[in-house]
Structure 1
């Protein structure tokens, strides 16, 4: 099993040390995770300790470590994104959309964006950014593709055509979708992406990875019973893996 989206530094909570990385590995091992990808937020790029990662990789034994990064996709910030994407010898890069018009959609302490925009228009703008991210050619993985649902603000109008268009773009791009259990820990109380959206991806042959989006060791592989049940019900029997930006597969 894999967990391909997690954060040791998290939101500046702890340094990336060998000891802290191995704490995540210990939980991964106990929960049956054989490959674990550390994907810090790109704003903490300068705090990523490559030497500590490489030493932990040598010591992690039956938990294979992968180095990734989660890049915050923002239209107009191409130079920053390109610099971040080439800064370290990543195994893969996650591209995630957290913003519309440079305002965060997932900040629990500031949800004013949901009052600023009509909800349907906000969803349309969010998914337009998701499509731009997938088609940009910068990323191997699309992070939590329906993050916009996090606080249960839903549009009154049907967004199925928007989701279909987005699934088409993902399939065209060759990007892998992050099936992310963090939504189970948020107000939405479900995996990203939702079942119907995941079915659209499966219908188009889009590969997936599994992740917990852990920001602390005890969150590694948290919610995987639910995630695994979902992906099996939809029809997935394997996950993508990465090493040196090359994709492989692993049965689930």
Structure 2
């Protein structure tokens, strides 16, 4: 059974194509399950759409849910369509996000840390002029936030847990115990992490997380899922077979998708 839980579309402002385009691409690529998980609005902000080009507007969220549920019915005989969302994690806004999500029949929520010290992790300029101690501080704060997101109880999946390296690959070589400490917290929380195959589109190349982090994740028995993080329909299910083969080599025997916030095991 093939699945992909991490997909975007035009509502977020930096992806192309409509939801139905991604569903049709998934069908054409032989997927059995597709999760729709566009970027959530900033529910902790007063404005309806404070950051166009990053997420959908708050006023669009109900329309988003309605469209996914409509398409779920239309395509039920061809593919299972799941309702998800990729949610930014802001510790001070957890309550605001929960209040919204609790009103909708979400199959799963991906929790992603995109901001550290108020700066987007994919902003290449954030590293300009930083010394070794400052770089270490950014890395440790990033993993502290991921650990906190795991403990929040909001998420079934944590997104791209080493995406900090996207445009700064050498951050992976900065030594710190924070990565292992965070993996322990994730394991204790029971939340899954994704193998996100979009890293190859960034300077770092490859997948998120790195092979060594995935090996450590297996040591801690952290559940795994797959997300292409597609921002174009053509990337649906990207590297599914390759990821599965690698996970088997680490000793994994199953991975998961989520229905009604409950894990569904799929044999590797």
- Asked whether the two chains share a fold, i.e. TM above 0.5, the reply is yes
C-alpha separation between the residues in 2 aligned to 1:123 and 1:101? 11
Tell me the secondary structure at the aligned position of residue 40 of structure 1. coil
2:38–2:85 CA contact under 8 A, matched in 1: yes
> Is 1:119–2:135 an aligned residue pair?
yes
Match of 1:217 in 2: 233
Unaligned 5+ segments in structure 2 are 42-55
Matches within 5 A, 1:222-233: 222-233=238-249
In the TM superposition, what whole-angstrom CA distance separates every residue of 1:204-231 from its partner, at most 9, and x where no partner exists?
1111111100112112112334423332
Match of 2:33 in 1: 35
Q: 1:183 to 1:14 in 2, by over 3 A?
A: closer
Greater CA drift, 1-10 or 43-52: 43-52
Unaligned 5+ segments in structure 1 are none
Q: Measure how far apart 1:116 and its partner are.
A: 5.8
Match of 2:184 in 1: 168
Q: 1:14 to 1:125 in 2, by over 3 A?
A: closer
Q: TM-score, length-normalised on structure 2?
A: 0.84
Q: Measure how far apart 1:77 and its partner are.
A: 1.9
Q: 1:157 to 1:242 in 2, by over 3 A?
A: closer
Greater CA drift, 50-59 or 36-45: 50-59
C-alpha separation between the residues in 2 aligned to 1:83 and 1:146? 28
Match of 2:50 in 1: none
Greater CA drift, 60-69 or 24-33: 24-33
Q: 1:83 to 1:29 in 2, by over 3 A?
A: same
Matches within 5 A, 1:1-252: 1-9=2-10, 11-12=12-13, 20-43=18-41, 44=56, 45-48=58-61, 49=63, 50-60=65-75, 61-107=77-123, 111-115=124-128, 117=130, 118-155=134-171, 157-159=174-176, 161-252=177-268
Greater CA drift, 163-172 or 80-89: 80-89
